[in-house]
Amino acid sequence: MTKTLTAQHLVEVNNLKQYFDINTGFFRSKSLKAVDGVSFNIQEGETLGLVGESGCGKTTVGRSILHLYEPTDGEIWYKGKEIKTEKDVAGFRQQATMVFQDPYSSLNPRMTVADIIGEPLDVHKLTSSKKERKERILDLMDKVGLNSEHAARYAHEFSGGQRQRIGIARALAVNPDFMVCDEPVSALDVSIQAQVINMFEELQDELGLTYLFIAHDLLVVRHISDRIAVMYLGKLVEMSSANEIYDHPLHPYSKSLISAVPVPDPRIARASQRIVLKGEIPSPLNIPSGCGFRTRCPYAIECCAESVPELEEVHEGHFVACHRVDEIN
């Protein structure tokens, strides 16, 4: 991908690598390549969906962007400025926040809702008086549809959907421009999930937010995203607009992933041809040579084991990393 910086790119990720050292024995360790050379950018006001199966590195990408992990290598640019030093990171975190997957473990059980939402305000010293702090908290609760009379309650007194609203209010407290949403609805029931998805969309319209929306539920991702990036074993394999990737997936992994999604429509489900992949995702400690997907790919040939396919633009805005993309489509 080109490194030119244009004004609309709110976030640019260039060749991000995140390795973890895993102890494999006495004085021995091995590098786990959770994210291995991922590049993408997100435009202002856009929602980029990041999908993939467990262990593909999608959560790590989100966390590395916010410097919750110190990236092993690569650059993260925000509003045309590289985030590098500790000072950059501190400033960046006032503009970029995160919503976590599990609404049960991501809220401190010993804090009241008001204090949970107010904590970012205290950390970044965003309010000057107690009154202002309180007003801001009540305003945030109102924004996410929580009854402001419940500010003094504890997290356990709320249902899963309401807890996720608390987590979102906390993420909104610093008035961010960019939000990393890490599986924010996957722990919720379908009827509640729809409420929270609608809220994400309303907040985006109202506040002009930009989202990196990480999820494994492809129906949800398709609904909320403008563009979608598909990850497999620490690498991006395909990236395109949401409709394009659903209607014309080009990478064999995206094809099988999309065809594997159970459609909630019996006639379509009966008629559809599923591409059922053989085998399972290899361990990120033993990534196959060449293309990471070749061990499960029905189209793999010799050259797939030899070199790693680069993410290339096959037509406008549609990027694919596959040696045989032209032959198999």
Partner 1 sequence: MALLEIRDLHTSFFTDAGEVKAVNGLTLDLEYGKVLGIVGESGSGKSVTAYSIMQILAPTGKIVSGSIKFDGQELIGLSEKEMRKIRGQRISIIFQDPMTSLNPVYTIGHQLREAIELHTDYHGKAAQDRAIELLRLVNVNDPEKRIKQYPYEFSGGMRQRVMIAMALACEPDILIADEPTTALDVTIQAQILELMISLQNEIGMSIIMITHDLGVVAQMCDEVVVMYAGEICEQGTADEIYYNPHHEYTKGLLNSIPTVATTGNKLKPISGTPIDLLNMPAGCPFAPRCDQAMKICIKQHAPEMKINDDHIAYCWVNVREGVADGSIVLSDPEDIQPQNEVLVHD
222 binds partner 1 (CB under 8 A): yes
Instruction: Quote the least distance from Cβ 162 to partner 1, whole Å.
Output: 7
Q: Please tell me the distance from the alpha carbon of residue 6 to that of residue 150, in angstroms, as a whole number.
A: 44
CA dist 83 and 105 (Å) reads 29
59-88 positions binding partner 1, by CB under 8 A: none
Binding partner 1 (rule: CB under 8 A), the pick from 131, 190, 302, 316 is 190
Cα torsion at 199, 43, 238, 291 (round to 10°)?
-120
Part of the chain binding partner 1 (CB under 8 A), chosen from 35-43, 99-107, 126-134, 273-281: 273-281
Q: Which range in 40-48, 93-101, 129-137, 186-194 contacts partner 1 by CB under 8 A?
A: 186-194
Which backbone phi and psi does 258 adopt, to 5 degrees? -70, -40
If binding is defined by CB under 8 A, does position 193 make contact with partner 1? yes
The DSSP string of 245-313 is HHHS--SHHHHHHHHHSPPS-HHHHHH----PPPS-PPPTTSPPSSSTTTTT-TT--HHHHHSPPP-EE
- Select from 111-119, 125-133, 170-178, 256-264 the region that touches partner 1 (CB under 8 A): 256-264
Nearest to 215 by CA among 171, 182, 257: 182
Shortest distance, CB of residue 41 to partner 1, whole angstroms? 23
- Asked if 284 is part of the footprint of partner 1 (rule: CB under 8 A), the reply reads no
Binding site for partner 1 (CB under 8 A): 53-54, 147, 150, 159, 161-162, 189-195, 197-198, 201, 216, 218-220, 222-224, 242-243, 246, 256-257, 259-270, 274, 276-277, 280-281
